Structure 1
Amino acid sequence: MAEDEDEGGFGGLYEDGHWAWDETTEELVFISDLPPQLIEAIQIPTKVPTGTIEFRDDIDLIEQDVKDIALYTAPVNILSPILINALHIPTVERFLRALILCCQYYLQIADEMANRIIELETKVRTPQGDIVESEFRNNLSDLRLLVAKEYSTMLIGGSDTKKYHHMGPYKKRRSLSDKDARLCETLLRMCVQIVWLALGRRAFNQIELEVNRVFKSEIFNSTEHTLHTNYIAKMAKEEKAVLLGHCLRHNKKLNTRSPLINEVFCHRDIDYRMMGLGVIKCPQPSPRLLYLMHTLAGPEDTFGKFGVVLGIIGMPRASYDTMLRPLPSANVEGKSKASMYEFRFN
């Protein structure tokens, strides 16, 4: 037994190999049978002269830059992990782009209609004017529909969004209405801030009024209740027809629907392919659909290639400071104004 233990314990330096006679040295040498070990070469970094270091300055602003500034400047007491995570979900990112595009076009058409109403005091209205205003109204309705489709996905917990507590297989009986209300109100306020920053910090009250109207309706527009602008009552009939659209449903107060949801169930002719923009690839899209698709889901660095205008998003980052304010330059100032309001469908 002792001999077996000694044999079993034999090994060490000469265990994995064999002995052979070396004719050159005329002696026994040990040759290992193990595969040769790889010797890792140590990379010695070469020092680059500091005078030749160059940083890229041709980077464009992206949606994330605007969200970062909005989160950085937001009060800490309204921020939560749920809110921050929600802002970085692909569905919400498309929702924000659609909302920026919708508000951008709304501000542009609001200015255009105000000028047209002033001109009508000294001019005669023509049938061509009705055609132009009808095009404005349909364009705004389509953009509200893009916002509504992403908003509907968020409401039902579809795609990459989570279902609410009262939905799905793990729904709870206990009501969380207060928690949901605070989350939705905070998200809506953050959306207003992001849109305002993306559009160059202009027309904040007008943006906030319109965003609250399309989400909550005229009756429950909390911003209007605070500011008391009475802006809808001051609109001319033609302005209301264009800016509010014809998908409005005036019902009893408790049965009031969000104007965004009304856009989804509107009786007007809607291109069904718009419901899948940014998610489903449609064969042979029209130039209009292709433009909207790149706006909703395309990389920001390709905006210039496809003529996409989305506020300051997609513009050279070197033209703005850390807080996304335009640097004092005549060319930058003129370019930023044009980018925010000279939006056209292809």
Structure 2
Amino acid sequence: MKRIHADNYAPKYKSGKWSWDHASDRLQFEPHNDLENSRERYIITNGYKFLRTINQEEELIFRQEFLRPPTTFDSDTVVINDIRDLVLFLMPSEFLTKRFLDFMHRPAVHRLLHALIIYFEYFLRMVEFVLIRRDELAGNMGQIQSEQTNDMKRIFSIYLSQYRMLVARNYSVIVKGEGDMHKFYHMKEIVNISATIQDKFFHEQFLAVTTQIIWISMHRRAYNVIEMEIARLFRSEHFVKHRPEYLSFTPSERSLLYGRNNKIVNYRTQVSPLIQELQHVPDEDLPILWIGERKYRGTDYRIAEIELEYITPGPQLRMIDVAHGILGNPKNLYNTLLELDWPSVRYANFTQFHDPYHIVRQPYLRIPKIDEEAMRRMSEHFPHFYKVYRIYEPVTEQMMQKWRRRDKVINFYSSGGLLTNIWVRCEKDVAERSYGPSVAHITSNYFKVVSRLRKRQSIDADDPFKLQQSTQTIGLRKKQANADEEHYFDP
């Protein structure tokens, strides 16, 4: 079976553009040789400049030094760690501190990113649904909404609030400094003074990296919507910037997208929408706060559905026919920047009936039953018997030191360091280490010994006395030949 990680040398991502060559009358690829002056080089996220594209040399460095090794869990599929490592390679140099890198590799942060990916998978579908309904209601041929349509929208809004509860629960663990997140708490233990300035920059950097991770995991679509919603979730609407590229929603659309718990008050007493979700949790939604900690036992189909989506690992999402962005998709369908390689997708022969990764099929919202909320209130919840244990693969200290020295590693290879693949490394290893004589030399010596013994045996076959003496001589010569062979084979 061919391993897709066997070769780290040939670049998979080529930065450039296609243009028509009138002289040869064909398409011609023009690479970006000067990316520093290219408009596509950087993307501004939360005031920080992230790399949007990389050249082939930077790609080789990333794949050789920073790519997730093939010995890790599910190395042939895209997981959150792959997206995180890519963003860490593309982020600015001022982010490369020991504290921030340690924070990004914590299990609590991993769970928060996982919940955010699930939330934005459905939030982007709801935004698309809102825009489609806006077009259907506008103009002279606008459609009339029925009461059932409003009930369906109300249920969709409750669904989004439930996903926000998962995000808020995981975020509150980080904010309160529980467990291994205590070292990142903004209040000092003895004096109880908040490190306001340090915590502000730390929070802004985390939101910038989070925006990049969510954007890449969502197939790099709806960047402005993702940036606006992350700023609203973790800050509040008082601190969301007003940009012309941001969408503006009507009060009814805001009520649908932001939920029934969203309230805007004076900025001095305003809390983030994530905390607002935890302040008013309905009784039927209380088991959602235990998803991922306890195995749910009850008759509520909606909670069982959310639990199945949350606890199912990314590489196994295709088994439940659920898509969370690019999580769980094969790596051979993507380039180094985790963009879809459409020739590989075409060769995979996906169809509407065979599309386990939701690449061909369009995302959709399941139309709920009108009386679903009433049925949920009548559901039963039983005591839990099982505790859910999560498996998290920690990063090594050697890899953490390499991330802190990211710029030095890039400068070393850019200034003349050797970039090698697995074939070149094996050739270099064979050339530097001596393993004794060659195979041709060993076989030639062996045949010389065998031919000399056989010739001596045929000459002394007529005389019994000489045959006996020759037999003893042959035995000694065989011992000498075995000793010679051991000398030949000994490295």
Structure 2 letter corresponding to 1:115: I
- Indicate whether 1:289 and 2:289 are aligned: no
Alpha-carbon distance in 2 for matches of 1:340, 1:90: 32
Checking the alignment, whether the CA contact within 8 Å between 1:309 and 1:343 is kept in structure 2 is no
Aligned residue among 250, 255, 276 for 1:241: 255
- Of residues 264, 271, 284 in structure 2, which corresponds to 1:257? 271
Amino acid at match of 1:104: E
Match in the other structure for 2:202: 183
Q: Distance in 1 between matches of 2:264 and 2:301?
A: 35
CA shift in 2, pair 1:281/1:116, >3 Å: same
2:220 is the counterpart of 1:201: yes
Change (3 A) 1:325 1:267: closer
Change in 2 beyond 3 A, CA 1:258/1:340: farther
How far the C-alpha of 1:271 sits from its partner, in A, is 1.5
TM-score (norm 1): 0.75
Look up the match of 1:98: 115
Q: 1:76 to 1:313 in 2, by over 3 A?
A: same
What is residue 86 of structure 1 aligned with on the other side? Answer: 103
Q: What letter matches 1:179 in structure 2?
A: Q
d(CA) in 2 for partners of 1:304, 1:204: 25
Q: C-alpha deviations, 1:273-295, integer Å up to 9, x for none?
A: 11121123333575543443344
Give 1:155's match in structure 2, choosing from 162, 172, 175: 175
Structure 1 Cα separation of the partners of residues 191 and 258 of structure 2: 38
Letter in 2 for 1:172: V
- Structure 2 residue identity aligned to 1:160: D
Q: CA deviation at 1:147?
A: 0.6
1:272 aligns with 2:248: no
In the alignment, structure 2 segments of 5+ residues that lack a partner are 6-73, 352-356, 369-491
2:163 counterpart (137, 143, 154) = 143
TM-score, reference length from structure 2: 0.54
Distance in 2 (CA, whole Å) between partners of 1:92 and 1:171 is 26
CA offset at residue 341 of structure 1?
A: 3.6
Which whole-Å CA distance do the structure 2 matches of 1:235 and 1:196 have between them? Answer: 21
More moved, 194-203 vs 153-162:
153-162
Q: Which residue of 2 aligns with 1:72?
A: 89
Choose from 327, 338, 341 the match for 1:313.
Answer: 327
Answer yes or no: is the 8 Å Cα contact 1:94–1:297 preserved in 2.
no
The alignment partner of 1:162 has SS state of helix
Moved more, 118-127 or 331-340: 331-340
Aligned length: 287
Change (3 A) 1:142 1:149: same
Percentage of matched positions with identical amino acids: 27
Structure 1 counterpart SS, 2:122 = helix
Question: Does structure 2 retain, via aligned residues, the 8 Å contact 1:148–1:261?
Answer: yes
Instruction: Give the deviation of 1:56 after TM superposition.
Output: 5.9
In the alignment, structure 1 residue 55 sits paired with structure 2 residue 3:
yes
Return the structure number with greater relative CO, CA threshold 8 A, min gap 6: 1
Question: Partners in 2 of 1:77 and 1:131 — Cα distance?
Answer: 49
Q: 1:5-35: per-residue Cα shift (whole Å, max 9, x none)?
A: xxxxxxxxxxxxxxxxxxxxxxxxxxxxxxx
- Output the CA distance in 1 between the equivalents of 2:362 and 2:84: 18
Change (3 A) 1:205 1:337: farther
Q: Which runs of 5+ in 1 are unaligned?
A: 1-52
- Deviation of residue 136 (structure 1)? 1.2
8 Å contact 2:225–2:246 — kept in the other structure?
no
Choose which of 187, 198, 202 in structure 2 pairs with 1:166: 187
1:340 and 1:317 map into 2 onto residues whose CA distance is 21
Residue 272 of structure 1 and its aligned partner are, at CA, apart by: 1.2
Query: Residues 177-196 of structure 1, C-alpha deviation per residue, up to 9 Å, x if partnerless?
Result: 11111111111111110000
Please say if residues 309 and 340 of structure 1, whose CA atoms lie closer than 8 Å, have aligned partners that are also in contact.
Answer: no
Q: Distance in 1 between matches of 2:245 and 2:266?
A: 23
Quick one: which amino acid aligns to residue 96 of structure 2? Answer: L
Question: CA-atom RMSD, angstroms?
Answer: 2.7
1:67–1:194: 8 Å Cα contact kept in structure 2? Answer: yes
Partner of 2:338: 324
SS in 2 for 1:160: helix
Listed one character per residue, the Cα deviations across residues 113-143 of structure 1 (whole Å, up to 9, x for unaligned) are 1111221231111011111101110111111
